[in-house]
Amino acid sequence: MIEGRLRVVASSWSDNPMKGAEVYRWMDERLDPARFEFTFVGRCGAPLARARVVPPLASAELADLLRGQHVYVTASREDSCSNALIEALACGLPALYHDSGGNRELTGFGGLPFSRPEEIPHRLERLRAHHGAFRALIRVPTIDEVCDAYLALALGDEAYR
């Protein structure tokens, strides 16, 4: 259980509308600042009045910032394999993700989905209440595991083994 304000972070290097700007604006306008501290890193594509907005960062600096947060949010729609989501999970952040594209597969049991912005506050409270459990369930495959899976797919299980 996280006491005090839940530190929530989102990031995007693109201001493409499919990256979720309207959801981040909704969060900026409606999340209770007494319960949530919202940070956005990168290019949003929508004005954020209350959130802490940080310009794009180099990888090491971004990782340091992510490690100081509690939950990562991605509102990206139909993203097949979000590097930003993988980075956040690798830094130990449970994720709240838009239920589309590859987000569910990447996150596994290390977070929760949402379909509508109105679901976000309740889902964040669930992540707050069970933060340790969600964090323990994060599973980011190693590069060796990813390569093995691609080779098995390309060559067939029997040919690869």
User: pLDDT tens across 17-60, in order?
Assistant: 889 999 999 999 999 999 999 999 999 989 999 999 999 999 99
Instruction: Report pLDDT for 161.
Output: 56
Q: Name the one residue in this structure whose structure tokens are 């996280």.
A: 2
Task: Identify the CATH number of the domain defined by range 6-160.
Answer: 3.40.50.2000
pLDDT, tens digit (0-9, with 9 covering 90-100), for 106-159: 999 999 999 999 999 999 999 999 999 999 999 988 888 888 888 888 888 665
